[in-house]
Structure 1
Amino acid sequence: MDYLPVFLDLKYKNILVVGAGEVAFNKIKLLLRAHAVVNIIAKDMCSEIRSLLVQKKVFWLSKEFQISYLKNIFLVIAATSNTELNQTIFKKCNKLKMLVNVVDDQSKCSFIFPSIIDRSPIIIAMSSGGTAPVLLRLLRKKIESILPIRLGNVAKIAGCWRSIVKKQFSNLLERKRFWEKLFNSIFVQYIINGKEKKAVSFLESIIKKPNVLIGEIILVGAGPGNSDLLTLRALQVMQEADVVLYDNLVSQEILNLIRRDAKCIYVGKRAGLKNITQEKIIKLLIFLANQGKKVVRLKGGDSFIFGRGGEELEAAKNANINFQVVPGITSGIGASAYSGIPLTHRNYAQGVIFITGHKCVNNTANNWSILCDPSYTLVVYMGSLNALEISEKLILYGRLRSTPIAIISQSTTINQKVIIGRLDEINKLFKLTISPSLLIIGQVVLLHQKLAWFKDLTNLNNTETIF
């Protein structure tokens, strides 16, 4: 270990910064966040530091560095372009056994600034010892993405209750188990969602009944297939799950992001195959949540767009189980974006309608007079189901036979395939695709050839035009 990671309390301590350019400003911002007293020596100041001086957030001592200015200073930062001056400052500080950092010169640093992830009072500091700053930046970005912004509030509230918990659980092991259970419960989610009163109420109840495990169900939209299109919140929840029930449309790439020790249960459904029923899925969700588990229901696209998420949450509500929803990019939005087909456009379509190729359980008929309006783009989920019937009805009620259509399979992935054709060719076109596929009907499809950016990016000839 080249450096010992430590956290310094700089509150109201005098810090000396020599130099007042952009590099110095970046360090000063950090020092001010730590409530340090920042003293500056510099001939010239950048506009940002001059503004801090006007606001009396920093103090300007002098234009020239002198050893006398090191008196009563806790640590020193040299951020000048003068290598001789930097060398002098380093030697003087070393002689006085003071902490010193010469910016961008690791050999002249008794301490270095780490990469910081701030969720105060939770602070994560990372360093590569100056060997690989770009790699460090990438790692920081990954860690940032899975730590909720309000995570610090969890620590603050827990800190306020430490003494009460200590009185309640005198045994160290009991206290440890209590905190572990609390931080793995819905308590954290309440705070992250801004419901701090509910979180405190939950904490009070769990102190009174420490052995009661309270589970929850979280509906998570996994997006249209590409793992890059997961929301940060979805990733966070997947990292916290005890059990994940996932659908057929969730890619392996996304499944690989689930917490390793979480139990994954496949509950996918495919047309024409023997599948688990929706009733059994709901019963399993409730059974697992009643065991005190954090159950993630992971669905392709968005749970509330033809994903039966509403039915599952109704069942959770009826069973008095806590639940929350993490929206995802629905496949209609993802597929259209990645195939270069804007669903609305001033010159082509004034609106968009989403329907499903599945027939309703009660056989409720579609309103074909609305669906055939050429000023609306029609997006059909599970488009291969009843495609011919949909085409015939649209033509019967007024859509032109020559209306452009796009059939998109494996959307947003490198295997995406787009077939362009006419409405009256729909049956023939679907024979060239693999399920599941999404169908887009309308004049906006004509923009595909012009706007198909993803095809060029992947260098794949993934478009067939049969028009």
Structure 2
Amino acid sequence: MKHLPLFFDLAGRKVAVVGEGAKADLRAKLAGSAGAQVLRLHGPVAVQELRGAVAVFVATEDEAADVAAHRQAKAAGVPVNVADRPALCDFIMPAIVDRDGVVVAISTGGASPTLATVLRGRVEAALPERLGTLARLATTFRAQVNALVADPASRRVFFRRLVEGPAAQLALAGDEAGARRVALGDLDAARRQLTPSGIAHIVGAGPGDPDLLTLRAAQLLQEADAILHDDLVPPAVLARARRDAEVVSVGKRKGRPSWAQADIDAELVRRVRAGQTVVRLKAGDPFVFGRGGEEVDALREAGLAYTVVPGITAALGCAASVGIPLTHRRHASAVTFVSGHGAKEGKQPAWASLVGEGHTLAIYMGASEASAVRDRLLAAGAAPSTPIAIVESGTRPDQRVSTGRLGDLARLAAAHSQSGAAGPSLIIVGDVAAYAAASPRSSLAKVS
């Protein structure tokens, strides 16, 4: 190890920064963020100006001036760092990741600052933004745990769970009050030697392309003990799960045997009560035609911890994948998500308010009810010539798209349903649907 990494308390202490410009400004900002009293110096530097400082940063960007300032810092007996001149440095500046008090420093010993920067980017992507909140939570409970849990091994188990378990997940999701409640429950369980409850994460899997998972969703798939997934979640997304996680299909598909929603709710509650970390994985976004709200209600009524992780919903993913702007300054100033399931009967959207100039409709679960959807829209006043697009298996390798006019919707939808194992389809209605013709993906049918 060429350099020993140290974290130096600068609060209220004098740090001198010699020079002006971007590099000097950056060093002054970093020292100030650590609470130092920053002394900015320009031009020739006297030894007496540097005495009493705990560190000197030199960044004049002039070799002679850098050497002179370095000489004065050494005469004052103060450790010095000279930007971009490793031979003149008593200490070096690492690449820093700061998560609200949780700090990671990365150094290559001056061999490659570019490599350190690249590594910093990777570390930043891996560390949650609210990591400092979790550190403060652990600090809050340290004294209580030491007082109430006598066995050192049990204390270690508690703190490991605190920083990795349900309380941590709530803290990282921004629910500090919920995190404290769960931590108190875990502390009581540790004191009484009981099994603490787990946590459920209601997670959006996106439209199907695993690369469109959010970073948070991908992290939780690696942490889950069990994954309860929709039938529409493809194998490529499930492959991102932890290898030893229990994966259970609780899919609901029209015309097929499936789990009742009440049974899914009960299974979630049962597993969380047993101490599991459960990911309830839903295609698209859990709160857009995904019944995520019902599952949250069940968990809340049971007094169990949960988080909700949004996903890219089908309308956004499919539209982007085929080149359709759902809103467009010249064509559409509004977009509405509508369920086409049950278009023949049951509670209906206000179709009359959804048709007209400048309005885009994204119709979920409408392909099997295409005739009824078409008839409802035509009866509401939509023109038969209104452009439409049907996107099947949007964002996935087997994606297919049909474009045409509203009057032909039933015929175009039939072509998809007759294709064998048809994937999930989204219908887009409005002038912007015509943009799908320029999509780079393959097209099943195009009707002008």
- Coarse TM-score class (shorter-chain normalised): 0.7 to 0.9
Match of 1:119 in 2: 99
1:415–1:103: structure 2 CA closer, same or farther, 3 Å change rule?
Answer: farther
3-state SS, counterpart of residue 297 of structure 1 = strand
Match of 1:49 in 2: none
Residues in 1 aligned to 2:231 and 2:109: alpha-carbon distance in whole angstroms? 44
Residues in 2 aligned to 1:407 and 1:318: alpha-carbon distance in whole angstroms? 39
- Alignment partner of 1:9 is 2:9: yes
C-alpha contact 1:341 1:444 (8 A) present in aligned 2? yes
TM score, norm. by length of structure 1? 0.81
3-state SS, counterpart of residue 386 of structure 1 = helix
Match of 2:155 in 1: 175
Farther off after superposition, 339-348 or 78-87:
339-348
- Alignment partner of 1:290 is 2:280: no
Displacement after TM superposition at 1:188 (Å): 2.7
Displacement after TM superposition at 1:190 (Å): 4.3
Residues in 1 aligned to 2:252 and 2:148: alpha-carbon distance in whole angstroms? 48
Displacement after TM superposition at 1:348 (Å): 4.1
Match of 1:71 in 2: 51
Displacement after TM superposition at 1:383 (Å): 3.3
C-alpha contact 2:47 2:75 (8 A) present in aligned 1? no
Residues in 1 aligned to 2:242 and 2:122: alpha-carbon distance in whole angstroms? 15
Displacement after TM superposition at 1:440 (Å): 0.7
Q: Which amino acid aligns with 2:282?
A: K
Farther off after superposition, 176-185 or 312-321:
312-321
- Alignment partner of 1:465 is 2:443: no
Farther off after superposition, 125-134 or 31-40:
125-134
Residues in 1 aligned to 2:258 and 2:233: alpha-carbon distance in whole angstroms? 16
Match of 2:352 in 1: 370
Match of 1:203 in 2: 183
Match of 2:79 in 1: 99
Displacement after TM superposition at 1:95 (Å): 8.0
Residues in 2 aligned to 1:4 and 1:264: alpha-carbon distance in whole angstroms? 45
C-alpha contact 2:251 2:259 (8 A) present in aligned 1? yes
Farther off after superposition, 147-156 or 264-273:
264-273
Match of 1:35 in 2: 35
1:167–1:254: structure 2 CA closer, same or farther, 3 Å change rule?
Answer: same
Match of 2:434 in 1: 446
Q: Which amino acid aligns with 1:4?
A: L
Displacement after TM superposition at 1:64 (Å): 0.6
Where do residues 150-299 of structure 1 align in structure 2 (5 Å cutoff)? 150-192=130-172, 194-210=174-190, 211-227=194-210, 229-235=212-218, 237-251=220-234, 254-255=237-238, 257-258=240-241, 262-271=245-254, 274-299=257-282
C-alpha contact 2:204 2:310 (8 A) present in aligned 1? yes
TM score, norm. by length of structure 2? 0.84
1:127–1:277: structure 2 CA closer, same or farther, 3 Å change rule?
Answer: farther
- Alignment partner of 1:355 is 2:341: no
Aligned residue pairs, count? 439
C-alpha contact 2:56 2:81 (8 A) present in aligned 1? yes
Residues in 1 aligned to 2:175 and 2:334: alpha-carbon distance in whole angstroms? 36
Identity of aligned residues (%): 36
C-alpha contact 2:182 2:305 (8 A) present in aligned 1? no
Residues in 1 aligned to 2:36 and 2:57: alpha-carbon distance in whole angstroms? 13
Q: Which amino acid aligns with 2:85?
A: D
1:134-154: CA deviations, max 9, x gaps? Answer: 554444344334534332132
Match of 1:303 in 2: 286
1:194-243: CA deviations, max 9, x gaps? Answer: 55444444434433332341222221112223455444544454454333
C-alpha contact 2:46 2:72 (8 A) present in aligned 1? no
1:26-83: CA deviations, max 9, x gaps? Answer: 11111001112222221xxxxxxxxxxxxxxxxxxxx312444443332222211211
1:92–1:165: structure 2 CA closer, same or farther, 3 Å change rule?
Answer: same
Residues in 2 aligned to 1:91 and 1:265: alpha-carbon distance in whole angstroms? 68
Displacement after TM superposition at 1:117 (Å): 1.9
1:74–1:260: structure 2 CA closer, same or farther, 3 Å change rule?
Answer: farther
Match of 2:408 in 1: 425
Residues in 1 aligned to 2:314 and 2:257: alpha-carbon distance in whole angstroms? 24
Q: Which amino acid aligns with 1:113?
A: M
C-alpha contact 1:75 1:100 (8 A) present in aligned 2? yes
C-alpha contact 2:47 2:76 (8 A) present in aligned 1? no
Residues in 2 aligned to 1:414 and 1:350: alpha-carbon distance in whole angstroms? 31
Residues in 1 aligned to 2:47 and 2:445: alpha-carbon distance in whole angstroms? 75
3-state SS, counterpart of residue 368 of structure 2 = coil
C-alpha contact 2:50 2:76 (8 A) present in aligned 1? no
Where do residues 319-358 of structure 1 align in structure 2 (5 Å cutoff)? 319-345=302-328, 348-349=331-332, 351-358=334-341
Residues in 2 aligned to 1:281 and 1:252: alpha-carbon distance in whole angstroms? 20
1:269-324: CA deviations, max 9, x gaps? Answer: 45555545544433322221111122121112111212122232233234333333
1:73–1:397: structure 2 CA closer, same or farther, 3 Å change rule?
Answer: closer
Residues in 1 aligned to 2:150 and 2:349: alpha-carbon distance in whole angstroms? 67
1:205–1:118: structure 2 CA closer, same or farther, 3 Å change rule?
Answer: same
Residues in 2 aligned to 1:339 and 1:369: alpha-carbon distance in whole angstroms? 25
Report runs of 4+ in structure 1 exceeding 6 Å deviation: 94-97
Q: Which amino acid aligns with 2:155?
A: R
C-alpha contact 2:19 2:58 (8 A) present in aligned 1? yes
